[in-house]
Structure 1
Amino acid sequence: MVPSRYQYASRTLQAHSKAARAQDDFARRCEALRARLGEDDFLHNRGLGNEIGFFTFCYDASLELRAREFFAQLEAESANGALPCNLIVRNLYDTFLGLLEKKRILAAVPKQEARRGSDHLLKRLRSIATPEALAAELAYEPHQPGDVLLLTGVGEIYPFLRVHTLLDNMHVAFGDIPVVVAYPGRFNGQSFSLFNMLDDGNYYRAFDIS
């Protein structure tokens, strides 16, 4: 059935309205995150009721390029002293590739996929780039007062890694500094929804920055 002009116009208006809401929400969250990065309590994990300082910065996946620009801007502001924190940005997909390179298997991945298939390769890579191994790749010492770890690339590394499994393995190594997960989807305080459509697992120990 061919949609009428009215139906087409209505759908177009709804799409524009949805995009506008996503952009407004993104702008509000950007302001909230920048404000948090300047708060002494945030930088020292205070006021969390004995919980660890793990946070989510959620945004619509259609705004990925804007998000990357924003994170780069925050990193530059941190480096030049415009923000009173040391923002450390780590892309999870780059971390994943770095781990495969360290294991000396990255170059063989295309051939393995051609020979054994995508399903076999996915299973193999998950057994190597485990949440524990990736958490160890992200770890560094010593942590300094004012350090904030910002994790990006959550959408890029899927389906090799589910973010809740990574966070479960970061509690010990990063319990003393704030960790912010840039998440292209939703987090309702109990579960993740990647791209606002994929069930990405349950998690209860993070606070959404909104």
Structure 2
Amino acid sequence: MVSLEERLDEAERMIRTPGFRQNKGLGNEVGYYVFDYPAEKELVVRKRIEEMKNRISKAYEGFELAVFDLYDVIIDLLEQEDFMEQCFQFEKRKGMERITNAVGRLLQINDDASVIVQYIQERTPKDAVVMLTGIGKCYPLLRSHKILNNLHQAIDHVPVVMFFPGKYDGQELVLFSEIKDDNYYRAFRLVD
């Protein structure tokens, strides 16, 4: 059995290869990948992504890592709209399901013009690999299939790697070993 550290080493090796960033071997389709890992290893993965981001620089490697913690992106967007305090009050009065719907409408999560997608698109350099983190922290405000489906429409020039705290079998995602997402993903497993 391959350890998480070995899988992370392999992921970093793959990301560093020019063919990965040029989508070689994918029929010229933009590379969307999922790196799954046990949720209890979240802190190990976060630390490793930060180390990768610090090691890889455009000056030496010819590309950079554009890391987006989706939870932080949501908080940033809510703060920009001065909506955080309203969210707290609304959640107290109406519950989590209602706040999820309200935030979803505000951020246009279900639309092709998703505010989150625009945020990522505006902050992604030309020569980059996009890394999406914070998937577990976002649940249930943001479902991973929504962001991947919407990103497919907007980001087609760089590979995207979603770090997922759960299992991905190439067809479906299972979050926290119990929440099954039956949506189809047009994403490849980054490493086995």
Q: Same fold (TM over 0.5)?
A: yes
Alignment-derived partner of residue 154 in structure 1? 135
Shift of residue 116 of structure 1?
A: 2.4
**In structure 1, what is the Cα distance between the partners aligned to 2:96 and 2:164?**
25
2:122 equivalent in structure 1: 140
Q: Percent identity?
A: 30
Give the paired residue count.
Answer: 187
What runs of 5+ residues in structure 1 fail to find an aligned partner? 1-20
Relative to structure 1, the CA distance from residue 68 to residue 83 in structure 2 (aligned partners, 3 Å threshold; closer, same or farther) is: farther
Which aligned segments of 4 or more residues in structure 1 are displaced greater than 3 angstroms?
A: 79-84
By how many angstroms is 1:200 displaced?
2.2
Listed one character per residue, the Cα deviations across residues 23-63 of structure 1 (whole Å, up to 9, x for unaligned) are x4312210111111221110112210232210111110010
Q: Which amino acid aligns with 2:186?
A: R
Aligned AA (1:137):
Y
Unpaired runs of at least 5, structure 2: none
- The AA in structure 2 aligned to 1:150 is M
Is 1:88 aligned with 2:66? yes
Cα offset, 1:171, TM superposition: 1.4
For 1:15, the equivalent position in structure 2 comes to none
* 2:78 is the counterpart of 1:100: yes
Q: Distance in 2 between matches of 1:103 and 1:94?
A: 14
Larger radius of gyration: 1
Secondary structure, in 3 states, of the residue corresponding to 1:150?
Answer: strand
Residue 207 (str. 1) matches residue 188 (str. 2): yes
Cα distance in 1 for partners of 2:190, 2:56 equals 19
Structure 1 residues 117 and 168, CA gap change in structure 2 (3 angstroms): same
Deviation per residue, 1:106-156 (Å, 9 max, x gap): 1222122222233322221222233222111211267423x1010100000
Counterpart CA distance in 2 for 1:89 and 1:142 is 9
Task: Identify which of 168, 183, 186 aligns with 1:187.
Answer: 168
Q: Is 1:76 aligned to residue 48 of structure 2?
A: no
Distance in 1 of aligned mates of 2:177 and 2:61: 31
Counterpart for residue 121 of structure 1? 99
- 8 A Cα contact 1:155 1:184, kept in partner: yes
Q: Tell me the residue number matched to 2:152.
A: 171
Q: How does the TM-score come out when normalised to structure 1?
A: 0.81
8 Å contact kept, 1:164–1:201: no
Alpha carbons of 1:124 and 1:46: their partners in 2 closer, same or farther (altered >3 Å)? same
